[in-house]
Chain A
């Protein structure tokens, strides 16, 4: 096999259809980077999910004198014996993994810290306005949150049970929707890329029909006739992938920079990024190679 000859033919092919080659590289680059973004999205969502699952799942807020729920209004603020009873109920519940009590004083400290920029808020709130609470960790988040919440909700002295995971679920739904949209667009673009590869290779085969007809005439094997086109498609795919890699690295570093301004955790390691990039390369090169091969089978028959 004469590599120099094949590479020379590839170079001629790429140069002759320069505009098509550029279009091909751009479409491959965009579809691969969107595809990669979709994959990174999936990883981000998965990573955040596991991160949050290890944290608090239920917050049980207890009555204070300003609580507005009917049971607090009729029973008044929670008293120590009720607190002991609630703790007992929680600890004895088989679905509960861990219970910790946050006193009003502790909660007030947290409140002051979080609203430190807002003096009037702090000035108008006294320590007794902030409810004490139980922070409850469950053994199995998804399944048990509602059942435990329902049981505790009716106990005397409980103001409100907040299911953290239901809040997160909304957030996840949003993320999932965004991810699905990205993946759908990526798939559409990949289809466009496939058609474009087919068209480019066909054009290339057509513009070199003289060469290929002579090659067939003098008995060049199919492999030899087709290889330059195959390599041509794959090189375009490779260039597209390189551009996509650049875009993906840029996007992730931009997200990292964004963390300074938002309380938003990017849970993507370099390993995740490398994994996505390698996957994109395999897909890009395979896609271009296979499409070229299938196109050639139609246009360069013996």
Chain B
């Protein structure tokens, strides 16, 4: 399943849209640590790609995602996201960058006192979208992630898989250019994970670039997408249509 022909990366490259994520010789060293979390990383992610980021814990996957979000600044090197040079992006413009990036985490990060609909609507409310717009798009995205009929459930009434679907709906509701997923199946059993991957694939098919950090070899092997492997902060493998790797 899920073995549809892989989309060609770099869909039509008109003049203005280069790679959506562009790392150029990026090094990130945290203070008081002997080894940098990322070291001289060069990579491009094209628009519409689906990329797996694999590697053991501490290999720099999370640092990569944090750098894309500009939650951290690189010690060296240049990063472009959605055509913007992050080094030249002022702090007050960072929120606008993040509106073009959706995020999904292992621990879902839902608001426990809001129901499914409110959790998704919250992401639009806080960026000041009009209520009419919210009423229109939230039900659509609830359908997209397969939570029809559960819009009034509270997070604690949902299974882990369903909660992750809510988180994905929230990340996608503003139609971001990029979706970052940090071990989205980490807390979910393998059977449910397949459903999660289906949703991510569906999101990818709308033209959204998906970058997913994961440990889950079965998922990576079944999807046959581009795989970037990190080890000790370095890119040790970058394969289109790759697998998780023999070493694991």
When the two chains form their complex, are residues A210 and B109 in contact, meaning their CB atoms are under 8 A apart? yes
When the two chains form their complex, are residues A213 and B109 in contact, meaning their CB atoms are under 8 A apart? yes
CB distance from B177 to the nearest CB of A (A): 12
Q: Quick check: is A219 within 8 A (CB to CB) of the other chain?
A: yes
When the two chains form their complex, are residues A219 and B109 in contact, meaning their CB atoms are under 8 A apart? no
Q: Quick check: is B99 within 8 A (CB to CB) of the other chain?
A: yes
Question: What chain B residues lie within 8 Å of A225 (beta carbons)?
Answer: 126
When the two chains form their complex, are residues B122 and A214 in contact, meaning their CB atoms are under 8 A apart? yes
Nearest opposing residue in chain B for A4, CB measure: B131
CB distance from A116 to the nearest CB of B (A): 76
Question: In the complex, what distance in Å separates the CA atom of A5 from the CA atom of B134?
Answer: 13
Question: What chain B residues lie within 8 Å of A210 (beta carbons)?
Answer: 109, 111
When the two chains form their complex, are residues A221 and B125 in contact, meaning their CB atoms are under 8 A apart? no
Asked if A222 meets B92 with Cβ closer than 8 Å, knowing A216-B98, A217-B98, A217-B103, the reply is yes
Nearest opposing residue in chain B for A213, CB measure: B109
Q: Quick check: is B63 within 8 A (CB to CB) of the other chain?
A: no
Question: In the complex, what distance in Å separates the CA atom of A215 from the CA atom of B99?
Answer: 10
When the two chains form their complex, are residues A1 and B128 in contact, meaning their CB atoms are under 8 A apart? yes
Question: In the complex, what distance in Å separates the CA atom of A62 from the CA atom of B1?
Answer: 122
Per-position binary interface string of chain B over residues 105-134, scored 1 when its CB falls under 8 Å from any chain A CB and 0 otherwise? 000010100000000001101111001000
Question: In the complex, what distance in Å separates the CA atom of A225 from the CA atom of B69?
Answer: 17
Nearest opposing residue in chain A for B167, CB measure: A214
Q: Quick check: is B97 within 8 A (CB to CB) of the other chain?
A: yes
CB distance from B235 to the nearest CB of A (A): 26
CB distance from B84 to the nearest CB of A (A): 13
When the two chains form their complex, are residues B126 and A218 in contact, meaning their CB atoms are under 8 A apart? yes
Q: Quick check: is A46 within 8 A (CB to CB) of the other chain?
A: no
Q: Which of B95, B99, B127 is within 8 Å of A222, CB to CB?
A: B95
Question: In the complex, what distance in Å separates the CA atom of A283 from the CA atom of B9?
Answer: 60
Nearest opposing residue in chain B for A1, CB measure: B128
Q: Quick check: is A302 within 8 A (CB to CB) of the other chain?
A: yes
Interface size on B, residues (CB 8 A): 25
When the two chains form their complex, are residues A219 and B128 in contact, meaning their CB atoms are under 8 A apart? no
Q: Quick check: is B8 within 8 A (CB to CB) of the other chain?
A: no
Is chain A's interface secondary structure helix, strand, loop, or mixed overall?
Answer: helix
Question: What chain A residues lie within 8 Å of B136 (beta carbons)?
Answer: none
Question: In the complex, what distance in Å separates the CA atom of A5 from the CA atom of B126?
Answer: 8
Within B146-178, which residues are at the interface with A (CB < 8 Å)? 170-171, 174
Question: In the complex, what distance in Å separates the CA atom of A73 from the CA atom of B25?
Answer: 109
Question: What chain A residues lie within 8 Å of B88 (beta carbons)?
Answer: none
When the two chains form their complex, are residues B99 and A218 in contact, meaning their CB atoms are under 8 A apart? yes
Q: Quick check: is B13 within 8 A (CB to CB) of the other chain?
A: no
Q: Quick check: is A256 within 8 A (CB to CB) of the other chain?
A: no
When the two chains form their complex, are residues B95 and A216 in contact, meaning their CB atoms are under 8 A apart? yes
Within A1-57, which residues are at the interface with B (CB < 8 Å)? 1-2, 5
Q: Which of B97, B111, B126 is within 8 Å of A220, CB to CB?
A: B126
When the two chains form their complex, are residues B128 and A2 in contact, meaning their CB atoms are under 8 A apart? yes
CB distance from B133 to the nearest CB of A (A): 12
Question: What chain A residues lie within 8 Å of B95 (beta carbons)?
Answer: 216, 219-222, 302
Q: Quick check: is A169 within 8 A (CB to CB) of the other chain?
A: no
When the two chains form their complex, are residues B127 and A224 in contact, meaning their CB atoms are under 8 A apart? yes
Per-position binary interface string of chain A over residues 184-226, scored 1 when its CB falls under 8 Å from any chain B CB and 0 otherwise? 0000000000000000000000000011011111111110110
Q: Quick check: is B14 within 8 A (CB to CB) of the other chain?
A: no
Question: What chain A residues lie within 8 Å of B98 (beta carbons)?
Answer: 216-219
Question: In the complex, what distance in Å separates the CA atom of A213 from the CA atom of B96?
Answer: 15
Q: Quick check: is B91 within 8 A (CB to CB) of the other chain?
A: yes
CB distance from A279 to the nearest CB of B (A): 34
Q: Quick check: is B11 within 8 A (CB to CB) of the other chain?
A: no
When the two chains form their complex, are residues B127 and A220 in contact, meaning their CB atoms are under 8 A apart? yes
Q: Which of A214, A222, A224, A302 is within 8 Å of B128, CB to CB?
A: A224
Question: In the complex, what distance in Å separates the CA atom of A302 from the CA atom of B99?
Answer: 14
- Listed in ascending order, the chain B residues whose CB lies under 8 Å from chain A are 69, 91-92, 94-103, 109, 111, 122-123, 125-128, 131, 170-171, 174
Q: Jot down 21 A-B pairs with beta carbons below 8 A, ordered by A.
A: A1-B128, A2-B125, A2-B128, A5-B125, A210-B111, A214-B109, A214-B122, A216-B95, A216-B98, A217-B69, A218-B99, A218-B123, A218-B171, A219-B99, A219-B101, A220-B95, A221-B92, A221-B127, A224-B126, A224-B127, A302-B91
Interface contacts beyond A217-B109, A222-B95: sample of 20 additional A-B pairs, CB < 8 Å, sorted by A: A1-B128, A2-B125, A5-B125, A210-B109, A211-B111, A214-B111, A216-B95, A216-B98, A217-B98, A218-B102, A218-B171, A219-B97, A219-B100, A219-B127, A220-B127, A221-B92, A224-B126, A225-B126, A302-B91, A302-B94
Q: Which 5 A-B pairs have the closest CB atoms?
A: A219-B99, A219-B98, A220-B126, A218-B123, A219-B95
- Listed in ascending order, the chain A residues whose CB lies under 8 Å from chain B are 1-2, 5, 210-211, 213-222, 224-225, 302
